[in-house]
Structure 1
Amino acid sequence: MKKLLCFCVLFLVSIHIPNAYSAERIVEMLNKREDGQKMVYSQDIVNIDINDTVKWMPTSKGHNVHFVSVPGSLEIPKKSKVNKEYSYTFNQPGIYLYQCTPHRSMGMIGLVIVGEDTSNINEIASSKVVGMSKKKLAKLIESIDY
């Protein structure tokens, strides 16, 4: 009986350990950022650990989150609804590229780098983006140390 109780306690503790060390990062969807840039996320690049969550907040109206490219064969998460809060927990390391669907041609894109893993940077760099997002993606890729 003691062994069973000990096993149960260890099991319960082990399933809660990953959550104890995970963090939540907030990214705002904005019409204008403090630096004067328009139609942007509050951070262009978010660096997080595996199992961390990013929460996108619709601070300004008319924005959403739509993943364009993710690491490897990972299934691309569903895009969020416009004007709605959106959260995603990142369990796979690598770089994730996302955009605001209504403002993608205006350069409203962002990157999440999970676990300091940049092994899929070439795939991200060759992702299909449109308009001003092409130039912005090139600048973001250039700013990453890999």
Structure 2
Amino acid sequence: MISRFTTAVFAAFAMVCLSAGVASAADHKVEMLNDGGDGQYMVFKPEVLKVEVGDTVTFHPVDAGHNAQTLSEIWPEGAKDFKGEISQEVTYKVEKPGVYGVKCLPHYMMGMMMLIVAGDPENADQVESFEPPQMAKERWEKIKGEFADAK
């Protein structure tokens, strides 16, 4: 028969193990800005972010008028989509490995996009095949270059 003491010790051990797993996940902050300070306007900062599966990414609207949402052409199969409200902070938990494309809908045509890279980017081919809006092609080439360095 299991004593109450043994049950209590087991329960305490289980709680320590569970909390250690939670503590290892990181929260990354991405700023949504009108001016990136480097001659770029309407930007996510950073534009490429490397994270671990289980981490969260919080999109913070430093300047009003931005949102963050799924760029469906660059998204791991089976990963949950998200759509933040304009001028509101939104947090997304990365639950699968891959490349996650994110856009600001009001400024997407201007190239306000970013990539989150989690673990092995199994869908990296989506980055290469993606066709951005015409006005955003130069910005997209810069983001792709940063992505290549982050892999």
How many equivalent residue pairs?
Answer: 144
Please tell me whether residue 24 in structure 1 is matched to residue 27 in structure 2: yes
| Structure 1 residue 135: Cα displacement | 4.2
Structure 2 residue aligned with 1:97, among 87, 96, 101?
A: 101
- Tell me the amino acid that sits aligned with residue 36 of structure 2: R
- In the superposition, the TM-score normalised over structure 2's length comes to 0.84
Within 5 Å, give how 1:47-126 maps onto structure 2. Answer: 47-68=50-71, 69-76=74-81, 78-115=82-119, 117-126=120-129
| Structure 1 residue 98: Cα displacement | 0.6
SS for the counterpart of 1:113 is strand
Which has the larger displacement, 51-60 or 134-143? 134-143
SS for the counterpart of 2:57 is strand
- In the superposition, the TM-score normalised over structure 1's length comes to 0.87
CA distance, structure 2, for counterparts of residue 121 and residue 136 of structure 1: 18
Structure 2: state its 5+ residue gaps.
Answer: none
Which has the larger displacement, 17-26 or 59-68? 17-26
SS for the counterpart of 2:9 is helix
Contact 1:97–1:110 under 8 Å retained in 2: yes
Which has the larger Rg?
Answer: 2
| Structure 1 residue 60: Cα displacement | 0.7
CA distance, structure 2, for counterparts of residue 52 and residue 75 of structure 1: 14
Please tell me whether residue 7 in structure 1 is matched to residue 10 in structure 2: yes
SS for the counterpart of 1:73 is coil
- Tell me the amino acid that sits aligned with residue 125 of structure 1: E
Contact 1:125–1:137 under 8 Å retained in 2: no
Q: Provide, for residues 41-99 of structure 1, a one-character-per-residue CA deviation record: whole Å limited to 9, x for no partner.
A: 111101112221111111011100011132122232x2000000111121211110010
Of all paired residues, the percent bearing the same amino acid is 30
CA distance, structure 1, for counterparts of residue 136 and residue 12 of structure 2: 50
Contact 1:94–1:114 under 8 Å retained in 2: yes
| Structure 1 residue 21: Cα displacement | 1.1
Structure 1: state its 5+ residue gaps.
Answer: none
RMSD: 1.8
- Tell me the amino acid that sits aligned with residue 116 of structure 2: V
